[in-house]
């Protein structure tokens, strides 16, 4: 019985759900994309990340959100038999058609990243193409 209790904690789940269960678990990132009159808003749930972990880019018509966080806290207080570290990453790309990329902005607060993507002015000059 004692040997059963000292095995690594995930053994119980592997026995119940199959050996590959914990190796293939994927944790999704909650994301909401919505439109207001003159802008698109993208809200991404990113708890545990810091502002420095997150990279937001808008290139052409693609919004790219990347983040990487490794739990590097070291505690040498105990003689550990088993220890695990958390590693989280996000890599999302979303295409938008009519965004004024010079005005894109982002705010990270309380674990939520909000990207504000103002729409292009609808009165932009149309480029006429002459037919030859």
**Taking the domains of the chain in order of start, what are their residue ranges?**
48-121
Tokens of 124: 């932009």
Q: Which of 17-21, 39-43, 107-111, 125-129 has the lowest mean pLDDT?
A: 17-21
pLDDT tier for residue 113 given thresholds of 50, 70 and 90: very high
pLDDT tier for residue 84 given thresholds of 50, 70 and 90: low
- From the list 101, 102, 103, 99, the residue with the least C-alpha distance to 122 is 99
Mean pLDDT, to the nearest integer, of 29-49? 92
First to last CA, the chain: 86
Q: Looking at residue 82, what is its pLDDT?
A: 66
Mean pLDDT, to the nearest integer, of 7-26? 41
Fold of the 48-121 domain: Immunoglobulin-like (2.60.40)
| Residue in this structure with the two tokens 């698109």, named with its chain if needed | 40
Predicted TM-score (pTM) of this structure: 0.64
Q: What percentage of residues in the chain have a pLDDT greater than 90? A: 41
């Amino acid at each position: 019985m004692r040997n059963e209790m000292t095995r690594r904690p995930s053994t119980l789940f592997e026995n119940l759900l199959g050996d590959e269960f914990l190796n293939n678990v994927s944790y999704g990132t909650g994301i909401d994309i919505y439109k207001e009159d003159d802008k698109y808003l993208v809200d991404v749930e990113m708890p545990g990340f810091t502002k420095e972990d997150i990279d937001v880019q808008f290139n052409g018509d693609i919004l790219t959100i990347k983040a990487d966080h490794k739990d590097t806290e070291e505690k040498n207080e105990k003689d550990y038999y088993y220890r695990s570290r958390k590693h989280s990453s996000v890599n999302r790309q979303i295409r938008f058609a009519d965004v004024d990329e010079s005005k894109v902005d982002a705010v990270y607060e309380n674990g939520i990243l909000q990207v504000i993507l103002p729409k292009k002015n609808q009165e932009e000059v149309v480029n006429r193409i002459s037919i030859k």
